[in-house]
Amino acid sequence: MEGVRVFHVDAFTTTAFGGNPAGVVPNAEGLNKKEMQLIAKELNLSETAFLTTSSSSQADYQIQFFTPTKEIDFCGHATVGAAWVLGTMYQLATKKDQVVFETNIGIVPVQFMVENDNLHSVLMTQVEPSVKTISTDLTELVRYVGIKESDIDSQYPVRLGYTGNWHLLIPVKSRNAVDEASPKLDLLKEHNERHHISTTHLFTFDCEEENCLVYTRDFAPAFGINEDPVTGSANGALSGYFILEGILDVSKDHHFQIAQGHSMGRPGFLQVIIKVGNDRPVIQVGGSAVITIAGNLLARR
């Protein structure tokens, strides 16, 4: 593994040490899954993305995602981080309008949004959204996530949402209740593993940030991550839920901002575009990123 190039990228932020940090290995050719897992464990970030040559004619790269403990099928903020590294450090944004990734859950294109010859943000198109009900009693769920049943915003249903991973989406009345949530992580981990749920995502429309529609927090103990600061996959699933459950007007497109990470001291913002011009809504999630560390892995095994 000697000489492997590694980047540390803060996604969904324009400020270093904000947003959600991800590892990116832009040239992972020659690494096997065991070695990728070791690198992800060494970096000790919520996810690390590994890029290799894709065998698909539809994609530029294959991208694989590892937490410190296991491989996962999709990660939004690491996808943003990988696209940002390619667009800036490898100048791909000066050559192409987008980069296309082959993931375990399908093809994910990411547009480069360039202003004045500089990469301003990236915008990924997630796979088709879907929702389904969950059988767990609400009394149990609120105990697992550490809020009161009176904190639940009953205007909106509790659902599982998907744009690559299944996320438990729980509507909450106030930002204060979201911030004060204190989940019982062992119980939440067991529950989510049993139901094949990636993360538990609390959301509220009580968002004081400028131009912000929703404020969220995300817990992922099933993947060894107590709390993830700013989550592209979960917020993509949430955005699909808004349309599929009729919470947002299904007759028009939507463009809004989601705030997350503030309770962790890593504030971040996601830009969401929902296109409803056909039978299947298209969910696009994007933002900016900051590369904070670039280096080479020197150790060998």
In sequence order, what are the beta bridge partners of 172? 152
CB 100 within 8 A of CB 110: yes
Q: State CA 196 to chain mean position distance.
A: 17
- Phi and psi dihedrals of 297, rounded to 5? -80, 115
Residues known to be catalytic:
47
CB 69 within 8 A of CB 224: yes
Q: Which helix (H) or strand (E) element contains residue 232?
A: helix 232-244
Do 50 and 28 contact (CB within 8 A), yes or no? yes
Helix axes 232-244, 76-88, angle to 10 degrees: 120
Cβ–Cβ under 8 Å, residues 51 and 100: no
